[in-house]
Amino acid sequence: MDVRAEQRIRALLEDTSLARGEAFFPALVKGLAQALGTRFARISVLNADDSLETVALWDGAGVTRGARQPLAGSAAADAIGAEFCVFRDRAQEVFPDDASLREHGVRGYVGAVVFAADGQVLGELCAMHDGPLPSAADDPSILRASAGRAATELMQMRFSAEPEASEALTRGILKSMTDAMIVVRSDGTVAFHNAAACALFRTDPIWLAGAALAELLPDLEGAASEIGGGNPSSAFDAGAQLELTAHAPGGATVPVAVTICSFDLAGERLHTVVLRDIERRRREEQRLRGYARALKRANADLERSRRKAEQAAAAKTEFLANMSHEIRTPMTAILGFTDILLEDEASTPVERQDALRTIRRNGAYLLEILNDILDFSKIEANRLEIEEVPCAPARIFGDVVDLLRPRASEKRVELVLELDGPIPDRLLSDPVRLRQILLNLVGNAVKFTSAGSVRVIARYDDADRTLEFCVRDTGIGIDDAVLAEIFEPFRQGDSSMTRRFGGTGLGLAITKRIVERLGGAISATSVVGKGSDFCVRVPAHPIDEAGGVPGSQESDTPSTGRMRRALEKLRASGRVLLVEDGPDNQRVIRHVLERAGFEVTTAENGSIGVELALASLDEERPFRVILMDVQMPVLDGYEATRRLRESGYTGPIIALTAHALPSERQRCLDAGCDAFATKPIERVVLLETIALHLAKTADP
């Protein structure tokens, strides 16, 4: 609806606002014709015999009424059937049987149906012109608004003409009202009420009739006075709408929305008071406010989660880019120096040794990176396994410090181990994970310290049965903002730190998770430019308190002399079966064994390995040791070992696996293996493992 149409409707409503009853319709048709710019306007009612009777017709000079014509074939029939229709010109040609159009020489017609509130058709309201319709008549909003007002007046006229129907309608309306309604006399007492009012005030009709409004709504006068500028009557006259508290006779109170309208009847000023129980609405509003607060919190949480996810995604993206660099850097050295060794035949033995040491160092670094990534993936999948066995923490501390001291010495950094009081020789913990924690913390301290010292301070708390150690350095330190999330994965200060010092950014995250899996805690303090302290506390019970757990690694380790005799005896018979499907691994392991003086037979899968092992028994030349890869085509190492044991083979079988988990070792033992060695194979460890299990079968 455009502005002009709104203005026309407003003017039309103002012109007819004071007219009531039969006086309304002449004012309506005259105002409608003027608003639309037409010569004619008409309001007609539909009679029971399907005839149209003119209530009022404006012809430009005055108003006539009473004309009748059949509905059939008229333009009004189209308006009633379609609810709205418009014929800008030549209306007589479209409706040749419409006598009214012919009589007034109408060319343009626009009409709308007049509906009662229940959908009953009351009649037709139209505007007609003796030329083409003016453009203002194209907008249906003016005609429809006028038709709505006409319907109201027609219904009032009908009920005025039929008092019984009017009274029945009033009773029906009051009975069906869900809101309470009372009519109050000028003296402030209730003159009339509906059933809903009795329900609201929780009382009977006898009490409510004659009750004082001031008792029912004690706050009404004050609230109305405030709205009316000190005059409650002016608020009532204006149809005040308030939210108050209704008081029932028994003392109960109900929050209500109150609408008051005043009117005169038989010379007395009366007030109609409509009350709506808003207790449920208030509960709903309170519930909605709660939902709104919860939604606001959820949105805030969602926003924080989104930012955190974006930060995590950015960190992982940076991590992947860093890993690409960290993996390619040692691979470049490994492949580059390998090419040099293959192509440069003129290199000196010293140069070749230096190249080989570089390859080994970069290979070890690459293995550290892969181990970090694999450990973190196990942690994320909640598959990090802890194995508590008797161990010697002081020896672990010493081994780690001795291992990393050359790296510290290269940087002229002092690396010191300090034992703050006695530490039991044997405690129950996971030696592998303790060593991993220390390597991460001490390795980081050495990495980030360019001058000064790194101190490993360890003590045992007898009262709490906890092992405590701190790694204290004089390195670059950590900013407070970075320190707050230093144990989060993919964090290493910032990207410049990664570029400068290398690493995965997973070490401290892994360390924290391992410490927590051990039942302990880790903390960090730091001052930029002065250094950092990382402190760990883990529970560790002495062996006698833990029930004398047997089977420590130390008890299984043979003496040097016994190992030497075992190796010599192995060489005497000299036969080892290597079951390995990887040609390169075959060559490496075979070379290690043959350099140690062993005679090696190889098999590329478990099926061939079983055949060779059983054949050696038949030939009475059994293999003294079988090295069995667990993952192979045709027949894997687990099944091959089971078949050998089922066939009566009793010799040592050592599994070769890329998995170092306790569960993997247990799987190997369950299959019948005596021990296992992890890949990549370390020469000394492999030979010691072979010697250990040969010694078990040797004569004392």
How crowded is the C-beta side of 323, counted as CA atoms within 13 Å? 18
Q: Do residues 123 and 114 touch, judged by C-beta distance below 8 A?
A: yes
How many whole angstroms from its chain centre is CA 428?
42
Walk across the sheet containing 253-265 and list its strands: 190-193, 180-184, 268-277, 253-265, 241-247
Query: In the prediction, which pLDDT does 547 show?
Result: 41
**Among all chains, which residue has been given the structure tokens 């687990």?**
638
Query: In the prediction, which pLDDT does 636 show?
Result: 93
> Residues 212, 217, 222, 225: is their CA dihedral positive or negative?
negative
pLDDT at 468 over 60: yes
Distance CA 631, CA 661 (A): 15
The DSSP secondary-structure symbol of 212 reads B
Element (H, E) at 270: strand 268-277
Per-residue confidence band for 321, with pLDDT thresholds at 50, 70 and 90 = low
Q: What are phi and psi of 411, to 5 degrees?
A: -95, 0
The DSSP secondary-structure symbol of 385 reads -
User: Same structural domain for residues 15 and 72?
Assistant: yes
Domain boundary among 129, 164, 199: 164
pLDDT at 557 over 50: no
Q: Identify residue 56 by its one-letter amino acid code.
A: A
Distance CA 566, CA 693 (A): 9
Q: Do residues 599 and 625 touch, judged by C-beta distance below 8 A?
A: no
User: Same structural domain for residues 639 and 581?
Assistant: yes
State pLDDT tens for residues 329-339.
Answer: 677 778 878 88
Domain-embedded: residue 550: no
User: Same structural domain for residues 456 and 390?
Assistant: yes
Length of the chain: 700
User: Same structural domain for residues 578 and 609?
Assistant: yes
Of 635, 438, 467, residue with least CA distance to 541: 467
pLDDT at 553 over 70: no
CATH code (residue 511): 3.30.565.10
User: Same structural domain for residues 27 and 133?
Assistant: yes
The DSSP secondary-structure symbol of 37 reads T
pLDDT at 607 over 90: yes
Domain-embedded: residue 549: no
User: Same structural domain for residues 510 and 621?
Assistant: no
**CA 434 vs CA 50, 428, 440, 542, 680: distances in Å:** 102, 11, 10, 16, 21
**Among all chains, which residue has been given the structure tokens 């009953």?**
120
Distance CA 532, CA 526 (A): 4
Query: In the prediction, which pLDDT does 457 show?
Result: 96
CATH code (residue 344): 1.10.287.130
Tell me the mean pLDDT in the region 402-422. 91
Using DSSP's 3-state secondary structure scheme, residue 677 falls into strand
Q: What are phi and psi of 570, to 5 degrees?
A: -65, -40
Structure tokens at 277: 């129980």
Give strand pairing partners of 110. 86, 127
| Residue 73 burial (CB count, 10 A) | 14
Structure tokens at 688: 């010691």
Structure tokens at 55: 């209530």
State pLDDT tens for residues 242-296.
Answer: 888 889 888 888 898 888 877 777 677 788 888 888 888 888 888 888 888 999 9
Domain-embedded: residue 614: yes
User: Same structural domain for residues 238 and 268?
Assistant: yes
Element (H, E) at 602: strand 599-603
Domain-embedded: residue 551: no
pLDDT at 318 over 70: no
pLDDT at 144 over 70: yes
Tell me the mean pLDDT in the region 417-442. 90
Per-residue confidence band for 453, with pLDDT thresholds at 50, 70 and 90 = very high
Domain boundary among 352, 378, 404: 378
How many whole angstroms from its chain centre is CA 139?
51
CATH code (residue 124): 3.30.450.40
User: Same structural domain for residues 199 and 240?
Assistant: yes
> Residues 588, 589, 593, 598: is their CA dihedral positive or negative?
negative
Of the ranges 129-133, 238-242, 291-295, which is most confident? Answer: 129-133
Q: Do residues 142 and 5 touch, judged by C-beta distance below 8 A?
A: yes
Full domain range(s) for residue 116: 3-164
User: Same structural domain for residues 262 and 292?
Assistant: no
Q: Do residues 610 and 640 touch, judged by C-beta distance below 8 A?
A: yes
Query: What is the count of structural domains for the chain?
Result: 5
CATH code (residue 185): 3.30.450.20
Domain boundary among 345, 378, 411: 378
pLDDT: which is higher, 122 or 222: 122
| Residue spans of alpha helices (H) in 487-623 | 495-501, 507-517, 553-556, 560-573, 583-595, 606-618
User: Same structural domain for residues 479 and 583?
Assistant: no
Per-residue confidence band for 546, with pLDDT thresholds at 50, 70 and 90 = very low
Query: In the prediction, which pLDDT does 326 show?
Result: 63
Domain-embedded: residue 319: yes
Distance between terminal CA atoms of the chain? Answer: 111
Domain-embedded: residue 552: no
Distance CA 684, CA 143 (A): 104
Using DSSP's 3-state secondary structure scheme, residue 163 falls into helix
Of 503, 500, 497, 589, residue with least CA distance to 330: 503
State pLDDT tens for residues 485-511.
Answer: 788 775 554 544 444 444 556 778 888
Query: In the prediction, which pLDDT does 673 show?
Result: 94
User: Same structural domain for residues 257 and 295?
Assistant: no
| Residue 159 burial (CB count, 10 A) | 16
The DSSP secondary-structure symbol of 558 reads P
Q: Do residues 222 and 244 touch, judged by C-beta distance below 8 A?
A: no
Q: What percent of the chain has pLDDT over 90?
A: 32
Q: Identify residue 85 by its one-letter amino acid code.
A: C
Q: What is the mean pLDDT of the chain?
A: 82
Domain-embedded: residue 171: no
Of 679, 671, 675, residue with least CA distance to 694: 675
State pLDDT tens for residues 581-596.
Answer: 988 889 889 988 988 8
Give strand pairing partners of 655. 628, 676
User: Same structural domain for residues 360 and 439?
Assistant: no
**Among all chains, which residue has been given the structure tokens 């691979």?**
331
Per-residue confidence band for 171, with pLDDT thresholds at 50, 70 and 90 = low
Domain-embedded: residue 580: yes
